[in-house]
Amino acid sequence: MNAYDIGDLVTLSVSITVEGEPADPDALTLTIARQDGEVLDVSADDIVRDDVGRYHYDYVPDGRGVHTITWRGTGAARFTESQQIYVR
């Protein structure tokens, strides 16, 4: 688990493949759940598409503890991927 300080710029990224090839989902969502119970549903307009199947979001954490990041895609590139970061 990576550790960051409050106020750091954290680039959250995801790579999506279908049968080994980069693929875009029909819809992509990003949810960030903090340890204190606060949940941020990131707008699709704020997620940056870098290339086919590659996306990122620049996040500036403002609360301490574990933050669980969950990406979800729909359609042919349906997937769910979670990761955690620690903010001190």
Structure confidence by residue, pLDDT tens digits, 24-35: 999 999 999 999
Q: Hey, is 62 helix, strand or coil?
A: coil
Task: Give the pLDDT confidence of 33-74 residue by residue, as tens digits.
Answer: 999 999 999 999 999 999 999 999 999 999 999 999 999 999
Number of domains in the chain: 1
Decide if 79 contacts 25 (C-beta within 8 A): yes
10 touches 30 (CB < 8 A): no
Structural domain of 38:
2-87
Q: The domain that contains 14 carries what CATH number?
A: 2.60.40.10
- Residue 30, both tokens: 């990003």
